[in-house]
Amino acid sequence: MKSIHDLLGEHPFFEGLPPESLDLIAGCGVNVHFREDQHIIDENAPADHFWVVRTGRVALEINTPRKGLQTIQTIGPGGLLGVSWLIPPHRWTFGASAVAPTSAIEIDAACLRGKCEADHDLGYELMKRFAVVVRDRLQATRLQLTDLYGSYAS
């Protein structure tokens, strides 16, 4: 059976991290499984974990006045669920539910924040990697906001 260290090492987000860094992160992680439709995150709840998605699919959701619950993004294998744990006030901005059976590594946020404070090299490396995730999501959101397909005729 693969260790948390091994599983993290196979995930694209952690690609190229030295083994000692993976060890530190793995020390904050456990394997978790979510069944289909299982609720994972409540909007505005404390962001005390994040998840390294290995298999399955998770939907980020927001409740809207007219349309009700809307999925604004899905996160699949190779993705990360949750960035709010990194930035004060450490509360979730959106809800999340599994839309398919999902396996992930759950990382304890306080544990990893503490290790990043103690080891700034690790903290800076992770911050750079999370910045890419945040940039990609910001770009995707901007594209979605432009309603690209609505104006596209044949």
Partner 1 sequence: MAAMRLETAPAQTGPMVPVMYEVLSRRRDLDDTFTLELAPVDSAIETPTMGQFNMLWAFGIGEAPISLAAIEDGRLFHTIRAVGSVTNALCAMSVGDHVGVRGPYGTGWDLQGAAGKDILVMAGGLGLAPVQPIITELFANREEYGRAALLMGARSPDALLYRDELEAWRARLDIEVEVTVDSAAPDWRGDVGVVTTLLPRVPFDPPTTRAFVCGPEVMMRFGARDLSELGVPLEEIFVSLERNMHCAVGHCGHCQLGAEFVCKDGPVLPWTVAEPLLRIRER
Q: Is the backbone peptide bond immediately before 18 cis, with ω within 30 degrees of 0?
A: no
List 1, 66, 88, 152, residue binding partner 1 (CB under 8 A): 152
Q: Answer for the pair 115, 122: CB distance below 8 angstroms, yes or no.
A: yes
By the rule CB under 8 A, 68 interacts with partner 1? yes
| End-to-end CA separation in angstroms for the chain | 52
Alpha-carbon span 32 to 104, nearest angstrom: 5
By the rule CB under 8 A, 89 interacts with partner 1? no
Q: Using the minimum distance from each CB to partner 1, give the nearer residue, 5 or 137.
A: 137
List 9, 27, 46, 76, residue binding partner 1 (CB under 8 A): 76
Of the CA atoms within 13 Å of residue 129, those in its CB half-sphere come to: 15
Alpha-carbon span 1 to 73, nearest angstrom: 32
By the rule CB under 8 A, 40 interacts with partner 1? no
Q: Using the minimum distance from each CB to partner 1, give the nearer residue, 118 or 140.
A: 140
Q: What is the β-pairing status of strands 29-34 and 95-108?
A: antiparallel
By the rule CB under 8 A, 16 interacts with partner 1? no
Q: Using the minimum distance from each CB to partner 1, give the nearer residue, 117 or 136.
A: 136
Greatest Cα pair distance, the chain, in angstroms, is: 56
Region from 3-11, 82-90, 97-105, 110-118 binding partner 1, contact rule CB under 8 A: 97-105
**Residues 102 to 131 in contact with partner 1, rule: CB under 8 A:** none
By the rule CB under 8 A, 74 interacts with partner 1? yes
Coil vs helix vs strand at 73: strand
Residues that bind partner 1 (CB under 8 A): 12, 57, 59-61, 67-74, 76-78, 97, 99-100, 136, 139-140, 143-144, 146-154
